[in-house]
Amino acid sequence: MAQKDINVGIVGGTGYTGVELLRLLVQHPAAKLGAITSRSEAGMPVADMFSNLRGWTDLKFVEPAAAALDHCDVVFFATPNGIAMKDTPALVKAGVRVIDVAADFRIKDIALWEKWYGMPHACPELVAEAVYGLPEVNREQIAGARIVANPGCYPTAVQLGFLPLLEAGVVDIAHLIADAKSGVSGAGRKAEVHTLLAEAADNFKAYGVSGHRHLPEITQGLTQMAGKPVKLVFTPHLTPMIRGIHATLYARLTREVDLQALFEKRYANEAFVDVMAAGSHPDTRSVRGANLCRLAVHRPQGGDMVVVLSVIDNLVKGAAGQAVQNMNIMFGLTEDTGLRQVALLP
């Protein structure tokens, strides 16, 4: 049953995901922001750091120890990897539900997680319980979850694009390819040379070709969809834009199928997946600021290859928006509550 006010805490509110959570939650009719933490900026009014929130909140950043997070109904972790897993056991014990927007609970194989993230897991006993927060796949489990592992940005775009094909069993799962591009906000708000204007502008490059942290997460999800192990080549790229992910996905058909009808039927009742008309080419700005994945499916020259085009805003459907979508499901709200924003153009 839905409750009138959901008392919300945010751990790590000074990054791009944190401010995006704030942007969405201050307009959410059922969310009551109780605390937002930052060790480095404790005492600073949130609106002094993020001027777009002037007039929307009078909260100040507080030290985590002073945030009384155990009095919240739900806590979002918008923190670097490795933080949520340390604090989640105590919160869950106190009856608080947790949505981790980082990667601490996404991968079920603990040894695999430790290999890719380079640290021991602090609460492996809770990983099995955590629900992977892709609503279009795990909606029922999310509703009753104490811990939700919010998917990564690349994994959201890639999995939603491949999902109808794998569920229907119509493609060769041993040769899947995901060629994906992201704006620089996907790298976070920290200062790094490769995201400087003079480095990222007028430039385009691949990275992580030999292996990216999102690969095991994507492969885990695709394997669940297919019901058997899949093999995926995933190549991410950095593009000179602030927001957006464009994933171009390739698979070989193993039997005849009406691809357009397959995608339209699978996503007919999904508020945040838009299957475009046959022959369409979605662009990233069409989802900028909106909690939406826009898809188009192609069969070039009528051959045996399927090409799926998938676009999301990496900070919304790829992070904060999907986290709020998961919160809505967890607390019995209509799924699009507080998430009806129209994408920004131009």
Task: For residue 317, give the DSSP letter.
Answer: I
Question: Which ranges in the chain belong to alpha helices (H)?
Answer: 16-25, 46-49, 84-93, 110-117, 124-127, 135-143, 153-168, 197-200, 214-226, 259-266, 321-330
Contact partners, residue 279, CB within 8 Å, separation at least 6: 296, 298
Decide the pairing of beta strands 147-149 and 74-77.
Answer: unpaired
203, β-bridge pairs: none
How far apart, in whole angstroms, are the C-alpha atoms of residue 139 and residue 133? 8
Torsion angles phi and psi, residue 31, rounded to 5: -95, 135
Catalytically active residues, by annotation: 153
> What's CA 185's distance to the chain center, in Å?
13
C-beta separation of 97 from 145 below 8 A: yes
Buried b (16+ CB within 10 A) or exposed e, 118-151: eeebebeebbeebbbbbbbbbbeebeebbbbbbb
